[in-house]
């Protein structure tokens, strides 16, 4: 019998349904303390949490039998997913289960703030009739900026359209075609902040989004702007927002989430210009029942069939195939990560071709690794703030959700003298980036094609990529500049296009690749393009 521990409150009606199964036992310990959780966790195969319980590395040490952690909701920032992965524990969530509830709460917060409903309600309870004091603003015709156009962000835009608002969106991955269908004008983050009368945040909490709305960015807001955060605490810097409200840098804020819950500092929640709720975005009876049923069904599916649905850290590949396919997981990740660092424009299509015997391997998991790298933040195009934790499990579904087309092709004959090759064409709204790579030997991954050039560069090392006129002296001039900048060169690969009298030089290097270095390289005569790509040691 599989035993599942419920650490946070779920509807009893749902839990009773699952206790009826002969092979499943569900123990409801909602509200359990950290100490008691650590004590009894060794007995359980599954753990279900919401946002209250923090599943830290310390807690995971006690999960000796633990196979699955289920988050009854979308965000998994309260679960140490990397440590769970190291321990072989699957982490799964329930994306979409509370989407409608969160979207509706966002609209309610906007309306409450625009029409001063909480303050007017409090006045009525005090038997004060203050009609003139609580003069509000209409939502009709307002410019509303949505930061992050995932499931919840898109649902919010659908509801705002009914108010005949003008919609701006910031989402580096959403395609223009999908934005057009939603009636959204895609803009940069800065432009959204500057133009919007109402700004609503819908991004996950991750290292790149912590303090996304900081003191500097809050200064870019209009004086009459309203800021709404029903996403995650910490995305908006609370101290900076408090000061901005005091200094009249924006008109008001509506906050459902806080960096510490309940807050340890109540100044923001009690500020007269703030409408605050205690993290109620997903708190509807319908949403709670939906995510509870969904997560328990997913866990049972895994226990009974080894099928991991909505897993964020797991992909199933036959054990016997792992040694053969693992190097191509790594190769695909390196190719995708390289693209993410040198891309310009919004990714629209990916064509991945498998040449040689690699074409006999399962394509989907290799593609998932490629896309997990490709969806990383771009240094030139801004952070991918709207994407939840992306890995090889969910990368393809996220890409397709964003309107990115993926085409896979098997080619029996090798493309060139290399017997096994992955060739990728990444199409953006600014052009196509072509990359091809191969596995030379154990842990040796090479870039063998870059756009129109044949090259041979180490994919595991940082790169300085220079495209230039095919004239003598470029390698020497670049090498001198890199040396003066404290950059060590480990390998140089050159490719030539004699027809167009162009060349590319790829320097594998060690050292810090800065924007200042980029600027210096661009000033060298006859150099047309400079691209910097740092080696990424962390796992996707």
Distances in whole angstroms, Cα of residue 130 to Cα of each of 112, 134, 270, 271, 538: 16, 7, 20, 20, 58
Contacts 24+ apart (CB under 8 A), 22-30: 23/303, 23/304, 24/300, 24/303, 25/1, 26/296, 27/3, 29/5, 30/6
Locus of tokens 């790169």: 463
Q: Which of 16, 39, 138, 261 is catalytic?
A: 261
Alpha carbons 337 and 340: distance in angstroms, whole number: 5
Peptide bond into 262 cis (omega under 30): yes
- 65 by DSSP, 3-state: which? coil
Locus of tokens 């991954």: 445
For 52: left if phi > 0, alpha if psi spans -120 to 50, otherwise beta; the answer is alpha
280, 257 in Cβ contact below 8 A?
no
Alpha carbons 15 and 262: distance in angstroms, whole number: 27
Is 232 marked active-site? yes
Alpha-carbon Rg for the chain in angstroms:
26
Residues 6+ apart with CB under 8 A from 185: 166, 167, 168, 169, 179
Alpha carbons 315 and 154: distance in angstroms, whole number: 28
- Counting runs of H as helices and runs of E as strands, what totals does the chain give? 17, 22
Handedness of CA 509, 513, 518, 523 (dihedral sign): negative
149, 157 in Cβ contact below 8 A?
yes
Alpha carbons 341 and 418: distance in angstroms, whole number: 26
CB-facing half-sphere around the CA of 520: CA atoms within 13 A: 15
Alpha carbons 160 and 383: distance in angstroms, whole number: 25
492, 475 in Cβ contact below 8 A?
yes
Q: Which of 178, 202, 279, 346 is catalytic?
A: 279
342, 424 in Cβ contact below 8 A?
no
Is 279 marked active-site? yes
Alpha carbons 235 and 218: distance in angstroms, whole number: 12
Of 149, 152, 151, residue with least CA distance to 170: 149
In a 10 Å sphere around its CB, with 0-12 CB exposed, 13-18 middle and 19+ buried, how is residue 521 labelled? buried
Q: Which of 154, 232, 343, 346 is catalytic?
A: 232
307, 281 in Cβ contact below 8 A?
no
Catalytic residues: 232, 261, 279
């Amino acid at each position: 019998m599989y035993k599942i521990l419920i650490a946070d409150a779920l509807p009893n009606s749902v839990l009773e349904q699952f206790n009826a199964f002969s092979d499943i036992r569900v123990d409801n310990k909602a509200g359990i303390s950290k100490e008691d959780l650590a004590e009894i966790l060794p007995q359980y195969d599954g753990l279900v949490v919401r946002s209250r319980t923090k599943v830290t590395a310390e807690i995971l040490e006690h999960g000796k039998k633990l196979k699955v952690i289920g988050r009854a909701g979308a965000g998994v920032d309260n679960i140490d997913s990397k440590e769970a992965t190291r321990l072989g524990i699957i982490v799964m969530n329930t994306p979409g289960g509370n989407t409608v509830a969160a979207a509706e709460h966002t609209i309610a917060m906007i309306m409450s703030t625009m029409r001063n409903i909480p303050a007017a309600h409090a006045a009525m309870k005090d038997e004060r009739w203050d009609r003139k004091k609580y003069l509000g603003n209409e939502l009709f015709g307002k410019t509303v900026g949505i930061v992050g156009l995932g499931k919840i962000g898109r649902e919010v835009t659908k509801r705002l359209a009914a108010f005949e608002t003008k919609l701006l969106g910031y989402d580096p991955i959403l395609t223009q075609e999908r934005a057009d269908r939603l009636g959204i004008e895609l803009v940069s983050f800065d432009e959204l902040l500057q133009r919007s009368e109402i700004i609503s945040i819908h991004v996950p909490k991750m290292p790149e989004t912590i303090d996304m709305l900081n003191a500097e960015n809050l200064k870019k807001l209009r004086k009459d702007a309203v800021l709404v955060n029903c996403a995650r605490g910490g995305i908006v810097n609370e101290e900076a927002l408090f000061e901005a409200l005091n200094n009249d840098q924006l008109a008001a804020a509506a906050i459902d989430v806080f960096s510490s819950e309940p807050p340890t500092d109540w100044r923001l929640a009690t500020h007269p210009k703030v409408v605050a709720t205690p993290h109620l975005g997903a708190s509807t009876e319908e949403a709670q029942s939906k995510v509870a049923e969904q997560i328990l069904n997913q866990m049972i599916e895994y226990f009974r069939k080894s099928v991991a649905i909505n897993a964020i850290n797991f992909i199933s590949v036959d054990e016997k195939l792992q040694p053969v396919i693992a190097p191509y997981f790594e190769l695909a990740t390196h190719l995708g990560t390289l693209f993410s660092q040198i891309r310009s424009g919004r990714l629209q299509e990916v064509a991945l071709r498998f040449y040689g015997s690699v074409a006999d391997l399962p394509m989907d998991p290799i593609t998932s690794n490629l896309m997990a790298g490709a969806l990383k933040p771009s240094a030139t195009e801004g952070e991918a703030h709207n994407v939840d934790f992306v890995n090889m499990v969910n990368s393809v579904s996220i890409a397709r959700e964003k309107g990115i087309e993926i085409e896979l092709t098997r080619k029996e004959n090798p493309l060139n003298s290399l017997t096994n090759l992955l060739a990728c064409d990444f199409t953006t709204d600014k052009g196509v980036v072509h990359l091809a790579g191969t596995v030379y030997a154990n842990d040796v991954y090479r870039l063998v094609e870059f756009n129109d050039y044949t090259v041979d560069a180490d994919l595991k090392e940082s790169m300085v990529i220079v495209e230039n006129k095919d004239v003598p002296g470029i390698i020497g001039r670049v090498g001198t500049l890199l040396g003066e900048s404290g950059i060590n060169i480990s390998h140089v690969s050159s490719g030539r296009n004699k027809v167009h009298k162009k060349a590319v030089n790829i320097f594998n290097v060690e050292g810090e690749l800065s924007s200042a270095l980029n600027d210096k390289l661009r000033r060298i005569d006859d150099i047309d393009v400079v691209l910097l790509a740092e080696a990424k040691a962390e796992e996707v």
